[in-house]
């Protein structure tokens, strides 16, 4: 851990650290994607055996499941009701306006035709992430879903499989890593090509998403991704044990997780450090958590304005406010993926079941990107219809812009219509 004062972090890059592009691994991803693109299922079988020790062609997904995990079913119901309630107001409608004499403009909302979900498996199958993807997708009107998740030797995690069936997903594939992203982006004999890919992953998954998103033959992606991150801002009197547990909840995610604590009270900082030392040893993923904590940064500030400056500069994925009047802070927070207000609003609530979406911008992207929502699964189409009268009214403006930008054919497209309307003759052309 590193402890700094406000004056020591005038260069805010010190909080996030340098991002070094791993060209070797990026090239490995490029090779994997190329192989999948050219060889399809044969590549998937070879790569799955190589990286996961599982033969992709032999892993079957049961067509019928016994829905007997009642605790999970109850949790899915509670969480999905909240997620649905939060996301439903995000729905947008088509609209149409008229300007002038017969100039009609419309915007149409359409769902993305086919979307792909990548759900990490392994030791921590992210059932909650599946909810965060499929619920807004269904609200958006999407109907065709492809789900890839890395298998273990026993196949797909049964809880994740149950959740997928619960939400009506039937295209489920036991496939992970960059090869899964390639399969969804380009399509194979077995896996359909999708239009947009959603979901978190490790370096190889995120790099594969980045690469296919820049390939005209690939697929769009949800958000630029980096390590998970949390920033906690706290004042004197905050519960140190609560804060320590919040910081650890992100540290156990990933050894590369970004852990930042901004404190307005020196004594509180000491208490939080002591609580972390006390609690970290109780975690089943303590090795991962301790690796993340080695890079954690604790910042002592003197006033609210310093805390806000750090917050807006860092643009955290998750921001927890352990302060007396968190609502009073909100108008001054410009950059954050999701904010958790007060001592009983832990980040874990947003991770699982409060209702907000936990797929959020990381690595400072919250300065320009929003978390996942219904609109992420939709696209808009603009429509314009001009009557003859509307065209004649607009023609002088069109010709002015065409002349200023030196676009003769643009001007021609206007003039031939003016000629047809009898507004100019060929000699004026």
Between CA 118 and CA 199 the distance in angstroms is 5
Q: Is 90 exceeded by the pLDDT of residue 54? A: no
User: pLDDT by residue (tens digit) across 297-335?
Assistant: 999 999 999 999 999 999 999 999 999 999 999 999 999
Q: What is the pLDDT of residue 14?
A: 59
Average pLDDT over residues 354-374: 95
Task: Match 């954690």 to its residue by tokens.
Answer: 296
What pLDDT is attached to residue 145? 98
pLDDT at residue 429 greater than cutoff 60: no
Mean pLDDT of the chain: 93
Strands 318-322 and 338-341: parallel
DSSP E strand stretches across 54-171: 95-99, 103-111, 114-118, 144-149
Task: Work out the burial of residue 239: count CB atoms within 10 Å of its CB; fewer than 13 is exposed, 13-18 middle, 19 or more buried.
Answer: middle
The tally of CA atoms less than 13 A away on the side-chain side of residue 349 is 14
- Specify the CATH number for 40-223+375-379; select among 3.40.1260.10, 1.10.10.60, 3.40.50.1980, 3.40.630.30: 3.40.50.1980
Q: How far is CA 429 from CA 115, 396, 411, 418, in A?
A: 50, 14, 10, 10
In this structure, are residues 84 and 138 in contact, taking their beta carbons and an 8 Å threshold? no
For the chain, the domains span: 2-18+226-353, 40-223+375-379, 387-428
Tell me the average pLDDT across 127-132. 96
Output 392-399 pairs: Cβ under 8 A, ≥24 positions apart: 392/418, 392/421, 392/423, 393/100, 393/101, 393/103, 394/100, 394/103, 395/423
Query: Do the domains 40-223+375-379 and 2-18+226-353 match in fold?
Result: yes
For residue 138, pLDDT beyond 90: yes
- 63, with CB counted inside 10 A (0-12, 13-18, 19+), is exposed
pLDDT per position as a tens digit, 177-233 = 999 999 999 999 999 999 999 999 888 999 999 999 999 999 999 998 778 899 999
Angle at 255 between CA 253 and CA 259, to 5 degrees: 75
The alpha-carbon radius of gyration of the chain (Å, integer) is: 26
Specify the 3-state DSSP secondary structure of 197: strand
Residue 155 DSSP symbol: B
Average pLDDT over residues 350-370: 95
Choice among 229, 252, 306, 318 that is catalytic: 318
Q: Which one is catalytic: 317, 322, 347, 358?
A: 317
Q: For residue 87, which of 358, 316, 348 has the smallest C-alpha distance? A: 358
Predicted pLDDT at 428 = 53
**What's the sign of the alpha-carbon dihedral 29, 31, 33, 35?**
negative
Catalytic residue check, 334? no
Q: What is d(CA 148, CA 161) in angstroms, rounded to the nearest whole number? A: 11
Q: How far apart are the first and last CA of the chain?
A: 74
Q: How would you classify the pairing of strands 114-118 and 196-198? A: parallel
Span 384-411, mean pLDDT?
98
pTM of this prediction exceeds 0.85: yes
pLDDT at residue number 110? 98
Of all residues in the chain, the percent with pLDDT exceeding 70 is 95
pLDDT of res. 123: 64
Residue 58 bears catalytic tag: no
Parallel/antiparallel/unpaired status of strands 95-99 and 103-111: antiparallel
Closest CA to 304 of 232, 233, 242, 367: 233
pLDDT of residue 174: 92
- What's the CATH superfamily of 2-18+226-353? Nitrogenase molybdenum iron protein domain (3.40.50.1980)
CA distance 395 to 408: 14
């Amino acid at each position: 851990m590193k402890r700094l004062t406000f004056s020591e972090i005038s260069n805010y890059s010190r909080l996030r650290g340098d991002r070094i592009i791993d060209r070797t691994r990026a090239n490995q991803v490029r090779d994997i994607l190329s192989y999948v693109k050219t060889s399809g299922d044969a590549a998937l079988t070879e790569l799955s055996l190589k990286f996961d020790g599982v033969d992709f062609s032999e892993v079957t997904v049961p067509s019928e499941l016994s829905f007997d995990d009642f605790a999970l079913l109850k949790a899915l119901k509670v969480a999905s009701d909240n997620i649905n309630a939060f996301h439903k107001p995000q729905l947008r409608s088509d609209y149409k306006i008229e300007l002038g004499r017969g100039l009609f403009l419309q915007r149409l909302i359409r769902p993305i035709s086919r979307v792909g979900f990548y759900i990490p498996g392994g030791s921590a199958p992210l059932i909650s992430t599946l909810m965060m993807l499929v619920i807004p997708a269904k609200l958006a009107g999407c109907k065709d879903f492809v789900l890839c998740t890395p298998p273990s030797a026993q196949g797909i995690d049964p809880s994740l499989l149950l959740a997928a069936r619960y939400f009506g997903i039937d295209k489920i594939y036991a496939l992970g890593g960059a090869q899964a992203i390639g399969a969804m982006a380009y399509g194979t004999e077995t896996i359909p090509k999708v239009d947009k890919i959603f979901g978190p992953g490790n370096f190889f998954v995120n790099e594969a998403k980045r690469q296919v998103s820049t390939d005209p033959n690939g697929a769009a992606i949800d958000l630029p991704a980096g390590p998970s991150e949390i920033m906690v801002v706290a004042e004197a009197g905050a519960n140190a044990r609560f804060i320590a547990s919040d910081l650890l909840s992100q540290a156990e995610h990933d050894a590369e997780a970004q852990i930042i604590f901004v404190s307005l009270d020196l004594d509180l900082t000491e208490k939080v450090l002591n609580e972390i030392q006390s609690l970290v040893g109780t975690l089943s993923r303590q090795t991962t958590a301790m690796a993340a904590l080695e890079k954690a940064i604790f910042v002592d500030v003197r006033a609210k304005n310093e805390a806000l400056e750090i917050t807006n500069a860092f643009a955290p994925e998750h921001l927890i406010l352990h302060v007396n009047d968190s609502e009073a802070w909100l108008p001054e927070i410009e950059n954050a993926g999701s904010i958790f207000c007060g001592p009983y609003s832990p980040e874990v609530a947003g991770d699982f079941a409060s209702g907000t979406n936990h797929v959020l911008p990381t690595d400072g992207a919250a300065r320009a990107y929003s978390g996942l929502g219904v609109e992420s699964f939709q696209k808009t189409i603009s429509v314009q219809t001009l009557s003859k009268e509307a065209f004649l009214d607009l023609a002088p403006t069109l010709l002015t812009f065409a002349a200023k930008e030196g676009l003769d054919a643009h001007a021609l497209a206007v003039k031939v219509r003016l000629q047809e309307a009898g507004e100019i003759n060929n000699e004026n052309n």
